[in-house]
Amino acid sequence: MIVPPRLSNELQGVIVRDLRIEDRLAIGKILAESPEAARWSADSLLEAASGGMRAWVAELNGEMSGVLVGRMAADEFEILNLAVLRAHRRQGIASRLLDAALRWSRGAGTKRMLLEVRASNQAAIGLYARYGFIACGRRKQYYRNPPEDALLFARTLNEEF
């Protein structure tokens, strides 16, 4: 059984909710600070979220701190983008967003979650490993600016998550 990491008490002020149109400027700031995340504009992210994809944001004490966007295809959920403000990294924001995506996916009948990450993004790789994601492939030179391989990860969902 995979048990997600315990969240610290410093996250008591975190609220995770669905992305809204009025989040556009704050999302733009998060994405501008996150060159390791997928290069989406805030407008394209909002358009994707309104077009059938799922998107959550995390607020820490009223400040927009992170965003996660994904899509369902058959019985799989693919995380397309996950980004957190630099000042709020390593505080569990990404964990809270992943928890929301996992809960939603389980309720939607998802059997497997997928994602890709820059090969150099050790912090993200460590987070995904703690959540039971397993490396299952590599896409050569997938990312641009700078060019870099993408590592593919997957996780089978069960009743515990």
Q: Is residue 104 assigned to a domain?
A: yes
Calculate the alpha carbon distances from 12 to 5, 64, 134, 136 in Å: 16, 15, 29, 34
The secondary structure of residue 159, as a DSSP letter, is: T
pTM (predicted TM-score): 0.85
Q: Is residue 2 assigned to a domain?
A: no
Q: Count up the domains in the chain and report the number.
A: 1
CA dihedral 22, 83, 50, 149 (to 10 degrees): 150
116 is catalytic: yes
Q: Is residue 145 assigned to a domain?
A: yes
Report the candidate in 139, 47, 154, 152 with the shortest Cα–Cα distance to residue 105.
154
Rounded Cα distance, 94 and 89, in Å: 8
- pLDDT tens for the 161 residues of the chain, in order: 344 444 443 457 789 999 888 888 888 889 888 877 776 776 777 777 667 789 999 999 888 999 999 999 989 999 999 999 998 988 899 999 999 999 999 999 999 999 999 999 999 999 999 999 999 999 999 988 889 999 999 999 975 65
Q: Is residue 87 assigned to a domain?
A: yes
The residue written with tokens 């996950």 in the block is 82
Q: Is residue 73 assigned to a domain?
A: yes
Among 10, 116, 143, 148, the active-site one is 116
**CATH code of 19's domain:** 3.40.630.30
Among 22, 33, 36, 128, the active-site one is 128
Q: Is residue 161 assigned to a domain?
A: no
**Domain that residue 147 falls in:** 9-156
| Nearest-5° Cα angle at 94, 104 to 51 | 50
131 is catalytic: no
Q: Is residue 4 assigned to a domain?
A: no
Q: What is the 3-state secondary structure (H, E, C) of 70-127?
A: EEEECCEEEEEEEEECHHHCCCCHHHHHHHHHHHHHHHCCCCEEEEEEECCCHHHHHH
The secondary structure of residue 12, as a DSSP letter, is: T
Q: Is residue 40 assigned to a domain?
A: yes
Calculate the alpha carbon distances from 56 to 27, 31, 66, 110 in Å: 11, 14, 8, 17
